[in-house]
Amino acid sequence: GIVLTQISKFWFEKTAGIVNNHFVTTDVEKFPAPFHNYSELLDGRSMMVKKANPFPVECIVRGYLAGSGWREYRQMGTLHGGKLKAGLQNSSKLPRARFTPSTKAESGHDQNISFKQLTTIIGEETSRELRRISIKLYRYGANLALKSGIIIADTKFEFGLLNGQIILIDEILTPDSSRFWPAATYQPGKNQPSLDKQYLRDYLETLDWDKTYPAPPLPDEIVENVSKKYCEIFQIITGKSIDSIIKS
């Protein structure tokens, strides 16, 4: 929780010049008074935000061919229904970043939707603006992360309306919402080692589980390894150790 909160804080502050966001503070002393009694529990892992009216969609941007995108391309030669050139491999860099929206399901799995379907949900002008902002955010984050030796293969953004204006909400460029690959070991044609949730996904794929609630309990070793990966990507991206955040 601390890693996800603090890495979102880092990116919210970095990208505020691209689009306004819901971030207010992570300083519990600035939260409403009733929360002060729980500061020991909340400190570092909680965030006060502005309340927005969320759009019921997820704005996914892909810079590389991975996961479900690679599976679709391998079977159909397409990504999100759009034709791609032949000869791409697992983890290939795409010629340009692709906007591939999905629904945001309250229960069950999100469903991929075309840009045209997106316009029927939130309108054409809003759809175009979310696409523009999402790609701009991805490019900014990907360029900054690459300077620290990290490839951001793909990511997910969510947006809402506040006083009639589009703002970024939820989380941004976290290991829960993004694929982070070490650039030093990047090699197309195979799955990449990653510092994100993919390790947990891969473990769950080994289980006899129908992917419905509740999920099976996780062994301590898996939890510990995920935690280590999250702490590592936090330090690489922000230049700070998670221990320094906890101590402060």
The pLDDT tens digits of the residues spanning 160-170 come to: 999 999 999 99
Q: Quote the percentage of the chain above a pLDDT of 90.
A: 90
Mean pLDDT of 105-127: 90
pLDDT at 201 over 80: yes
**CA–CA distances in Å: residue 143 to residues 79, 146, 149, 165:** 23, 5, 10, 27
Query: Which residues pair with residue 49 across a beta bridge?
Result: 23
Question: Can you give the pLDDT at residue 248?
Answer: 59
Q: How much is the pTM?
A: 0.94
> Is residue 154 within 8 Å of residue 65, measured between CB atoms?
no
Return the percent helix, strand and coil in the chain, to nearest 5: 40, 20, 35
Mean pLDDT of 164-184: 98
Domain of residue 96 covers 2-247
CA neighbor of 137 nearest in space, from 122, 152, 149: 152
- List the CATH number of the domain containing 171: 3.30.470.20
Domains identified in the chain, total number: 1
CA neighbor of 80 nearest in space, from 109, 101, 66, 97: 101
Mean pLDDT of 100-122: 89
* pLDDT tens, residue by residue, 204-233: 999 998 888 888 999 999 999 999 999 999
Question: Can you give the pLDDT at residue 107?
Answer: 64
How far apart are alpha carbons 140 and 18 in whole angstroms? 9
Residue tagged 């080994």 (tokens): 206
Mean pLDDT of 85-103: 97
Which H helix or E strand runs over 200? Answer: helix 198-205
How far apart are alpha carbons 63 and 94 in whole angstroms? 6
Query: Which residues pair with residue 54 across a beta bridge?
Result: 160
